[in-house]
Amino acid sequence: MSVSRSQGAPSHAASAPPVERPSTARATTTSAASQPRRSRSRLPRPRRILGTTGTYVAAIVLGVFSAFPFVWMVLTGLKPNPEIFTATPVFIPSEITHLRFVEVLTGDFTLYLRNSLIVTTSVVVLTVAVSASAGWVLARFAIPMRRYLLILILSAQMFPFVVLLIPLFIVMRELGLIGTYPGLIIAYLSFSTPLVVWILRGFFKSIPVDLEEAAMVDGASRAGAFRRIVLPLSLPGIAATSVYAFIFAWNEFLFALSFNRNSPEMHTLPVALQQFIGREGTDWGMIMAASVIFTVPVLVFFLFLHRRMTEGMVIGATKG
């Protein structure tokens, strides 16, 4: 009997079902782990509401701060003269006058607007075309002394406009380009192109070379791969540099005044705004009305390209 008991004891121990303590421990662990999740999901909710509210409030404040100068220009252009020159600013005009805007749009200001559009559009198109080609070559080809060439290109931004004004004026005078569109466009290209080349080169380097090689394997030429593969992927960078070139050419005053001083019909908008400032006084109402017309093309151009610029920022933020 004792033997049978001794033999049965091990068999009973071996055949005994596993104790359910681990499952209880798992349940306890699961319930314990679920509690922090619930608490974490409940606790941050007020914080998220506060964070969202703070974000919207900051966005509204920033939007009002950014739009206020333009709104003030519009309101000042609509005010009568006595309400412009007051010690206490008048935000809402008591009488709205449209004569200033009518005079700006019907006078010689339309000629100056056309000159600015022609010069600025030409500068943007040529800057992007030349800079995209040069930036792609510098990013893909092993050119001798490429590093020194990049430093030389970027060093053009080190010189202020005043230093290069007289040399460029002499060159354009010898070429007979003073008082013409090409003279002003070439002068602007000498300042806008170097920085755009540098920016687009960095953008092209971020695009994998394998994409171009795959296109060339499929039968495309090197230029065809650049036109069909690289350029579409570079549209965000091209949009950003186009905005830079547009704002630079649109706001430039010194070269436009010096090159076209004896040709009033070739004046651009920044130079045209100067005619409202005289010895007897400054016509602030006309300046504000003309400044509204001066600002609208920049806003339209930026709104036209802001989607591409946003895509470029998103791509840069999520890359990697």
For residue 14, the surrounding DSSP H or E stretch is helix 2-15
pLDDT of residue 42: 52
| Same domain flag for 139 and 121 | yes
pLDDT of residue 41: 47
List beta partners, residue 282: 277
| Same domain flag for 192 and 68 | no
pLDDT tens for each residue of 241-277:
898 899 999 999 999 999 988 888 899 999 988 888 8
How many domains, in total, are found in the chain?
2
For the chain, give me the number of helices (H) and strands (E)? 16, 0
pLDDT tens for each residue of 185-231:
999 998 889 889 988 888 888 888 888 888 888 888 888 888 888 88
pTM for the structure as a whole: 0.75
CATH of the domain at 258: 1.10.3720.10
Determine the Cα–Cα distance for residues 227 and 33; give it in Å rounded to an integer.
Answer: 56
Q: Is 213 part of any domain? A: yes
**Residues comprising the chain, all counted:** 320
pLDDT of residue 29: 44
Determine the Cα–Cα distance for residues 118 and 122; give it in Å rounded to an integer.
Answer: 6
Do 287 and 83 touch, CB atoms closer than 8 A? no
The low-confidence residues of the chain, meaning pLDDT below 50, are 1-41, 43, 313-320
Q: Is 293 part of any domain? A: yes
Output the six-digit token pair for 202: 């960095």
